[in-house]
Amino acid sequence: MLKKIDSSQLRVGMAIHDLDCGWMEHPFVRAKFVLSSDDEIRKITRAGIRNVIIDCAKGIDVEAAPTLAEAQAETEAEVTAIASKLVRPARTTLGDELQRAVGIRHQAVNLVRTVMQDARLGKAVEMENVSPVVTNITESILRNPGALLSLMRIKTKDDYTFLHSVSVCTLLVAFCRSRGMDEDTIYEAGVGGLLHDTGKALVPDAILNKPGRLTDEEFAVIKKHPRDGYDLLRQTPGIGQIPLDITLHHHERRDGSGYPEMQNEDEISELAQMAAIVDVYDAITSDRCYHRGMAAADALRKIYEWSKFHFNPVLTQEFMRCVGIYPVGTLVLLESGRLGVVVEPHESNLLTPKVNVFFNTKSQMYIRPELLDLSRALGFGGGDKIVRHESPDKWRVDPDKFLFVAE
């Protein structure tokens, strides 16, 4: 039986099933092992890991601890309660914005690639090249955030560093917009998101793209990138304080377990806390050379759990409402037994998005795609309900092929 416990309950002889954190954040080569010493327990707590999944069939039990299923059910209930809050409506349809979003994505990725190359050569970032890209991303988000955000889900492992920076910019702009921030702040936050990983230009490729667990020494090199990026950007004429703050502090955590300054909640700025949420969300949903990205819906639930210690809980919930409990591109199973891909969130209830259904799980066959508005009744374009999100691998389907539909 799998149970979820607090790391303070760990004892020698317990069988670790999952350290419940991002792969890069834990200090062990394996995620599953039996604790053999107090030193291993100290390494877990020093890494800022608060929750651990143990396998009671292979090691010591904690009788009062909830099972993993019980813990997940509790999280799901809490997440569902968040889903009734208002979100901002899009100005254009997903399909209408898609073509423009493709060009904006291409432009932004090329810019980040150039910035990284220039940083390696000691050249300053040219803000006259950055500004129009951030402006284009912001305008696309204003028209329909789902188009660019859904495109940013698709990443190649080789270009991850560049694509991640564009994704963080896009998500952070959308996050700021959903919170009603002013245009100048949104722009500055977008610049910070686009340039936040500039310091990784100084990390050797052998470490940055290593297809396996980093050593302590290699991880120490990685942890220098916020400070290195900050030092590089300070040389940029016209750079604002918000991008500098985001670059330096996007790996800080509210419990003081982050880096480079181990700031606590009261010391980390609001925008840096927002950037931290966005950065982790994009990282754990992306395929990397050393791990497979998790589904966006699963990632949101993980971040919600981690917000009890690492992230601002209020900001976390606002981010969840921004991207949707079932983000655009999520594969969902409906009560009818059909599978569909979420194409647009509802304005007032994130549990009733628009879904393009395309597969019948009962007959195990593709069906003619149909756009459903789950907020509407049967006979009026709706009449179904989400049961849960699903893995495309489980059903061997590609929901991205059905993401963009004519309305």
* 273-300: average pLDDT: 88
For residues 334-344, average pLDDT = 94
Using a 10 angstrom Cβ sphere, with 0-12 exposed, 13-18 middle and 19 or more buried, the burial of residue 28 is middle
| Cβ proximity of 253 and 275 under 8 Å | no
Which pLDDT score is estimated for 377? 80
355 CB contacts (<8 Å, ≥6 apart)? 332, 334, 340, 341, 342, 343, 371, 372, 374, 384, 386
C-alpha 384, offset from chain centre: 28
How far is residue 119's CA from residue 169's CA, in Å, rounded to a whole number?
A: 19
What DSSP letter does each residue of 225-271 carry, written as one string?
HHHHHHHHHTTSTT--HHHHHHHHHTT--TBS--SSS--BTTTS-HH
CB of 403 closer than 8 Å to CB of 329? yes
Neighbour order of strands in the sheet with 33-34: 2-6, 51-55, 15-18, 33-34
pLDDT tens digit sequence for 110-133: 999 999 999 999 898 999 999 999
Residues 230, 109, 175, 352: what is their CA dihedral angle, to the nearest 10 degrees? -150
Q: Each residue of 372-389: pLDDT tens digit? A: 999 888 666 678 999 999
Measured N-to-C along each axis, helices 94-120 and 160-178 cross at an angle, to the nearest 10 degrees, of 130
Q: 247: exposed, middle or buried (C-beta count within 10 Å: 0-12, 13-18, 19+)?
A: buried
CA pair distance 180, 198, nearest whole angstrom: 28
Confidence label for 226 from pLDDT (cuts 50, 70 and 90): very high
Spatial separation of the C-alpha atoms in residues 185 and 276, rounded to whole Å: 17
CA distances 156 to 204, 287, 291, 322, 398, Å, are: 19, 8, 13, 25, 16
Q: How far apart are CA 254 and CA 43, in angstroms?
A: 19
Residue 25's pLDDT is 60
Where are the domain boundaries for CATH 3.90.105 in the chain?
Answer: 2-66
Angle, helix 94-120 to helix 183-195, in steps of 10 degrees: 50
In whole angstroms, how far apart are CA 138 and each of 56, 106, 142, 184?
49, 15, 6, 11
Instruction: Choose the weakest-confidence range: 71-80, 87-96, 244-253, 281-290.
Output: 87-96
Which two three-digit tokens encode residue 197?
A: 């990983």
Give the pLDDT of residue 369: 95
Percent of the chain with pLDDT over 90: 62
Q: What pLDDT does 255 receive?
A: 92
Between CA 219 and CA 392 the distance in angstroms is 33
Tell the CATH topology of 2-66.
Answer: Molybdopterin biosynthesis moea protein, domain 2 (3.90.105)
Query: And the tokens for 299?
Result: 């990632």
Average pLDDT over residues 203-223: 87
Q: pLDDT tens, 26-85?
A: 667 677 899 999 999 998 888 788 889 999 999 999 988 999 989 988 888 888 777 665
For 341-355, what is each residue's pLDDT tens digit? Answer: 998 887 777 888 999
Q: Residues of CATH 1.10.3210.10 domain(s) within the chain?
A: 94-323
Mean pLDDT of the chain: 89
CA 298 to chain centre: 10
> From CA 271, how far away is CA 313, in angstroms rounded?
14
Nearest to residue 176, comparing CAs of 151, 140, 141, 130?
141
pLDDT tens column, 352-372: 899 999 999 999 999 999 999
One of 1.10.3720.10, 1.10.3210.10, 3.40.50.1010, 3.40.50.2020 is the CATH number of 94-323, namely 1.10.3210.10
